[in-house]
Amino acid sequence: NPFLYEFHTRVIDSEEHLVDEDFTLIGIREISSHDEKLIINQEELPLNGLKIQYTSAQFGSAIPTVYLMYKLERLKKEGINLLCFDHLPSSDFLALTDRYGFCVMQSADTFDVIDSHAENLIKTMIFRDRNHPSVISWKYTRELDLSRSINEELVTRWINGFEKQTL
């Protein structure tokens, strides 16, 4: 079970009036590997995962929270602790994976995105979800588009260009 911190942000104008406020759950984690084993917060974590779609036949992508909770509880009971996505899940769904203690591998599918916009898609994915302790990795794919190769050198340069303190 993850330990989550509630980060309270308030914007106050010059007359000391509250303009806006937000509550964000964040988690702090240290991820490393040793002898091909994943170490999270200095504890070995064997992964048992599956690929999951963030849609349902009944609801499409507008899945009720109660249904998502039910689905995650069932997966947890089956011993699943890693969820792999080919498409970005909502922030609300990631908040549930944080609470339930799942690990998440996210993917930016750039099948229908031109290269000049792919960088922005990847950065948006990483910056949007960087404080979710469930997210342990990101990947970049071109699903179903075998005519265009993934320019790994370009993606590596983008990702290495992020300043560590911004993540």
Distance CA 61, CA 57 (A): 9
pLDDT above 60 (res 165): no
**28-81 tens-digit pLDDT:** 778 888 888 888 888 898 899 998 877 778 888 788 889 899 999 999 999 999
pLDDT above 70 (res 85): yes
Q: What is the mean pLDDT of residues 156-161?
A: 66
Q: Which residue has the higher pLDDT, 107 or 47?
A: 47
C-alpha torsion angle, residues 87, 93, 95, 106 (rounded to 10): -10
pLDDT, the chain, mean: 80
Residue 166's pLDDT is: 47
